[in-house]
Amino acid sequence: MDLYKFLPKTNCKKCNPKTCMAFALALLQGKVKIEDCPPLLEPKYKKQFDTLKEMIGSEEGQEKELQINVDTDLCDGCGICVTVCPVNARYCPPTLSGKVPAYPPDKHQLFQVKKGKCELLNLEHCRRIETEGRERECRVCETYCPREAIKIEYV
């Protein structure tokens, strides 16, 4: 669900997260409501406001938890998620050059391929979860998986 593209994208700082990207993530997580973005209440953004309302529906403002699901029927074990996830790259430098990360995996590692299938390891280190007061609207794994096997969801 790409809420960001329906926000004003001006980073005007009038909402609590202060940037449109962070606001999109907070909307997904149910931490803010659409009305918490004052510019969206202006007539020129009415269409975007209505679209966002439709997209979020009755679940607006209900706090949700992150899930990253890997469909092992679709996954062919290519390892792209292992090399592109920024957390993997940070804590497992060999992945930056496309090499297999160390085994056993680093405690921060998010993905590994085992027996030809992707495994999600330490979701708590995903950049979408707040650490050191920051969280990010990261979607790299989902975007780069060529088999569309990874789905980021809030449930």
Give the interface with ligand SF4 as residue ranges (CB under 6 A): 7-8, 10-15, 19-20, 23, 37-39, 68, 70, 75-81, 85-87, 110, 113, 118, 126-128, 138-141, 145, 147, 149-150, 152
Q: DSSP assignment of 43-72, as one string?
A: GGGHHHHHHHHHHHGGGTT----EEEEE-T
Q: How far is the CB of 62 from ligand SF4 (least distance, A)?
A: 19
Q: How far is the CB of 133 from ligand SF4 (least distance, A)?
A: 17
Query: Max alpha carbon distance in the chain (Å)?
Result: 56
Tokens of 65: 């938890």
Nearer Cβ to ligand SF4, position 9 or 102?
Answer: 9
Tokens of 63: 């706090």
Nearer Cβ to ligand SF4, position 61 or 79?
Answer: 79
Q: How far is the CB of 79 from ligand SF4 (least distance, A)?
A: 5
Nearer Cβ to ligand SF4, position 85 or 92?
Answer: 85
Q: Quick one: CA dihedral 53, 124, 13, 36, positive or negative?
A: positive
Within 10 A of 20 (CB to CB), how many other CB atoms are there?
A: 23
Tokens of 60: 């607006």
Nearer Cβ to ligand SF4, position 10 or 62?
Answer: 10
Q: How far is the CB of 104 from ligand SF4 (least distance, A)?
A: 19
